[in-house]
Chains A and B, each alone.
Chain A
């Protein structure tokens, strides 16, 4: 368990480079961009639910705001009665009455 947790830090650089190629290739062949790379995918359904895939971790969690760390920066979701509906290692579902989804916050 411990090993698995530390692995991303070890091989971070070469991996990112390879993934960068993958993204370029995807762009070249006009493939959907979410197929490659570990860029976050944010899906908002209505205004009550936001699904974030490829996230790194929760940085801050309050009743009116949640900050989620991703590979491209921190995504901040503000609103009322924010809850984490479900959290796994791949995706997190944020619920509540959402008013903002901010990047680089």
Chain B
């Protein structure tokens, strides 16, 4: 029944009042396929009923024939409802504006998803996209998925395959990383092994070539360790060039100097904070009124508040809250131990960048150096054991 009502509402209907000879009128209408419903007797010679718009148009002859006078009580339904908006220009303009807005916003990219790779590669892919001016908010019509995919393939090294799909307002980039190729030792190329850094040799293992140093030797950087020229025992046969292979383990030393300072500026939060709020639309930030940075020195922490849309989609509209903490700098006098600990930490950090990844740290020594002027340094010496052999192509052929 509800569906019937809905259908009637959509088609539109009129409530009419018929006066005089109602029964005859109803019968004629029924015979002429004019649908009437909800007929209620009002008084002795009149009745109220509902009729469809089409039925109402066909009703005139039936009314004349039955000698019945018909008046409209009310016009109901969607057609009459919409008729009201005919004159309202603003409403129509709004409707048009709404339609345009929908088309406009659905022709944009709102979300970019990168699948199948780590954050590092993803960042490089994002950079490629940015270089081509593809970001949240770019128009879809300008984008050619195949081109983007090939651009990614060309510009990001460790991607074997890239696929770009645009579904609605979401761009999905799927990539397949390359499995790293194993390093192939080209044995046909002759080479020597030379020391990559100074050291004291502790162990030698030679697979091919002529050993030129001994265990316990001190070598300097660039010194020949294993020669690729294989001398025959019988001088008549001459020499043969080979690809020298081997592992020369040596003790190496690294050192670094860090100035010791007994003063340390400490940043202390005063406890006064301030929150600034920005409205974020795509990548734009719009500051709200009352945002100020009125602290002279501050640490700031900002975090994004995103709005989760239906179906767990991320809406690129949200708030960015920036929290400022006022800080004061305070000079703190450190004791000798504290200063040394601080310097040592810094020295270790510096050295860790220098050490090669396959070396083993054997020993650490700390020296405190003082000059006449009163400046002090902390020297950190690290003793390691590592393979110092490095390939150097053999000259000639």
Q: Residues on A close to B: CB < 8 A?
A: 1, 4-5, 57-63, 82-89, 92
Contact = CB atoms under 8 A, between A and B. Distances in A.
A88 B30 contact: yes
A78 B30 CA distance: 22
Nearest to A65: B41
Contact of B30 (A1, A4, A89): A89
B30 A61 contact: no
A5 B33 CA distance: 11
Interface residues of B, number: 18
A57 B49 CA distance: 17
Contacts of B350: none
Contacts of B10: none
A87 B26 contact: yes
Contacts of A60: 23
Contacts of A89: 30-31, 33
B31 A83 contact: no
Q: Label chain B's interface by main secondary structure.
A: mixed
Contacts of B23: 57-61
B22 interface: yes
A1 B35 contact: no
B41 A62 contact: yes
Contacts of B29: 87
Interface in B258-308: none
A89 B31 CA distance: 5
23 contacts: A1-B32, A5-B31, A57-B23, A57-B31, A58-B26, A58-B27, A58-B30, A60-B23, A61-B26, A61-B41, A63-B41, A83-B38, A83-B39, A84-B39, A85-B37, A86-B36, A86-B38, A87-B26, A87-B29, A87-B37, A87-B39, A88-B33, A88-B35
Q: Label chain A's interface by main secondary structure.
A: strand
A99 to B, nearest CB: 17
A61 B32 contact: no
Given A84-B26, A87-B37, A88-B33, 9 more contacts: A57-B30, A61-B47, A84-B49, A85-B37, A85-B39, A86-B36, A88-B30, A88-B35, A89-B30
A85 B38 CA distance: 4
B214 to A, nearest CB: 113
Contacts of B38: 83-86
Contacts of A87: 26, 29-30, 35-37, 39
B96 interface: no
Contacts of B341: none
A58 B29 CA distance: 11
B38 to A, nearest CB: 7
Contacts of B36: 84, 86-87
Contacts of A88: 30, 33, 35
B46 to A, nearest CB: 11
- Please name the 4 residue pairs, one residue from A and one from B, whose CB atoms are nearest each other, closest first: A84-B39, A57-B27, A86-B37, A63-B41
A57 B21 CA distance: 13
Interface core residue of B30, B31, B32, B35 (most chain A CB under 10 Å): B30
A71 B47 CA distance: 26
Interface core residue of B32, B37, B38, B39 (most chain A CB under 10 Å): B39
A58 B23 CA distance: 6
Nearest to B27: A57
